[in-house]
């Protein structure tokens, strides 16, 4: 006759059989935490009366064009003007805030979230948000090279921000720094989901940066056709050498130039040394004061993006090679000079 399992479970254990401590693998703790998180329902959308409007502005541009430089100085100037500003870096390189903090890198949301989950702890505001002279700043971060999707990292970062109360934070301006030359959905999040009121593009007098700016305008136009409300407020020209292509682009797509930051050696040197130049009363203070006013007041507009020929038309043919004629290749070009066409084996039926 089989033993009664329930009776055995109720039998008292000897001291040597009692478990005094259970050590749980950190990976198991993290797995369990992720399962609980996946089952939890999202917080309801706030339905109370809106008492304050925060301007959320997404800034896009080609990698290396100077978005971080522009945003660090812009946010610093806004704070000096008495505005409460939050700067969020949405670039996997996590370098948006480095100039603001004198070259120091702050812990990213993605990295901090992974570390905290492994330890069974919750992420706190003070773990990921830091401030300097009235500017609040944080970095979303992203996976290491070849180890994940940067766009998915952006989405995960914003999901965590929402859990931390993003929609309840009390700021005058939230500035989002996004790569424009990455086309995956995560980087288009503010435009696709109406997370911002307007977009600003940063470009220069070179074809690649204007190609990226034009792509951003195309994305805005596409999502507006689907019912989106985001528009482009204008363009900031960085490293302006006076040749005029960026200004011509802005005029062609129907957006204003908010500011033109010159290609000046003093700015280049100070930026390389992680120095803020947008200081009231400083040499470049007036430039960033004007930019701050334009960013605040410029309304979102629907741009008219250019086609490839229109974009190339902003530059001389000596620079772009747009006078080149496309010559179709032949089968003999691909297979060698001795290639002889073979008769087709296709069966042709006479019409009945």
What is the per-residue pLDDT across 64-83, written as a single tens digit (0 to 9) for each? Answer: 899 999 999 999 999 999 99
Contact 110, 126 (CB under 8 A): no
**Residues in the chain with pLDDT values less than 70:** 1-31, 33-52, 142-153, 183, 185-186, 317-323, 337, 344-348, 351-352
What the block records as the tokens of 261 is 């930051």
Of 244, 249, 162, 186, the C-alpha closest to 214 is 249
Nearest to 256 by CA among 296, 300, 311: 300
Can you list the positions of beta strands (E) in 29-93? 55-61, 85-90
CA–CA dist 46, 162 (Å, integer): 12
User: CA-CA distance, 297 to 98, in Å (whole number)?
Assistant: 27
pLDDT score at 48: 44
Q: What is the pLDDT of residues 82-113, one digit of tens each?
A: 999 999 988 777 778 899 999 988 888 888 88
Q: Which of 181, 198, 240, 270 is catalytic?
A: 181
The span from the CA of 145 to the CA of 141, in Å, is 12
Active-site residue identified among 62, 117, 198, 239: 62
Cα–Cα dist 19/83, whole Å: 58
Catalytic residue at 62?
yes
Distances (CA, A) of 37 to 5, 109, 128, 163, 238: 35, 17, 20, 11, 43
Q: 332 φ, ψ to 5°?
A: -70, -30
Write the burial class of residue 345 (CB in 10 Å: 0-12 exposed, 13-18 middle, 19+ buried). Answer: exposed
Q: Which residue ranges form the domains of the chain, and what is each CATH number? A: 55-312 (3.40.50.300)
pLDDT for 87: 95
The reported pLDDT for the residue numbered 156 is 75
Q: What is residue 18's predicted lDDT score, i.e. its pLDDT?
A: 45
Name the active-site residue from 83, 84, 93, 116.
Answer: 93
In this prediction the pTM is 0.76
> pLDDT digits over 181-221, tens only?
776 766 787 888 888 899 999 999 999 999 999 999 999 99
* Catalytic annotation present for 32: no
3-state secondary structure (DSSP) of residue 125: helix
Tokens read off for 37: 């998180």
pLDDT recorded at residue 51: 43
163-168 CB contacts, 8 Å cutoff, 24+ apart:
163/43, 164/123, 164/125, 167/46, 168/46
Q: Which of 343, 340, 321, 323 is nearest to 332 (CA)?
A: 340
């Amino acid at each position: 006759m089989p033993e009664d399992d329930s009776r055995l479970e109720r039998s008292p254990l000897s001291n040597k059989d009692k478990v005094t401590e259970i050590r749980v693998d950190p990976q198991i703790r993290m797995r369990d935490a992720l399962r609980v998180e996946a089952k939890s329902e999202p917080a309801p959308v706030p339905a109370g009366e809106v008492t304050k409007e925060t301007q959320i502005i997404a800034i896009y541009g080609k990698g290396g064009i100077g978005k971080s430089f522009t945003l660090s100085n812009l946010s610093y100037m806004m704070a000096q003007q008495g505005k409460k500003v939050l700067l969020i870096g949405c670039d996997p390189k996590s370098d948006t805030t480095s100039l603001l903090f004198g070259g120091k890198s702050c812990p990213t949301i993605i990295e901090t979230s992974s570390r905290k989950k492994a330890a069974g702890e919750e992420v706190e505001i003070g773990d990921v948000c830091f401030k300097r002279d009235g500017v609040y700043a944080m970095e979303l971060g992203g996976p290491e090279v070849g180890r994940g999707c940067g766009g998915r990292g952006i989405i995960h970062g914003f999901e965590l921000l929402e859990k931390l109360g993003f929609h309840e934070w009390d700021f005058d301006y939230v500035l989002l720094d996004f790569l424009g030359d990455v086309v995956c959905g995560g980087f288009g999040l503010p435009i696709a989901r109406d997370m911002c009121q307007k977009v600003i593009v940063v470009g220069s007098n070179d074809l690649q940066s204007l190609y990226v700016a034009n792509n951003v305008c195309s994305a805005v136009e596409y999502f507006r056709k689907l019912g989106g409300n985001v528009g482009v407020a204008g363009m900031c020209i960085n490293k302006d050498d006076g040749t005029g292509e960026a200004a011509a682009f802005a005029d062609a797509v129907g957006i204003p130039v908010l500011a033109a930051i010159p290609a000046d050696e003093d700015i280049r040197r100070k930026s390389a040394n992680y120095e803020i130049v947008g200081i009231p009363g400083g040499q470049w203070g007036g430039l960033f004061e004007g930019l701050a006013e334009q960013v605040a007041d410029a309304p979102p507009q629907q741009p008219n993006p250019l086609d490839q020929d229109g974009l190339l038309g902003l530059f001389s043919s000596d620079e772009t090679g747009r006078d080149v004629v496309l010559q179709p290749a032949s089968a003999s070009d691909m297979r060698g000079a001795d290639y002889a066409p073979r008769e087709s084996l296709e069966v042709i039926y006479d019409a009945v």
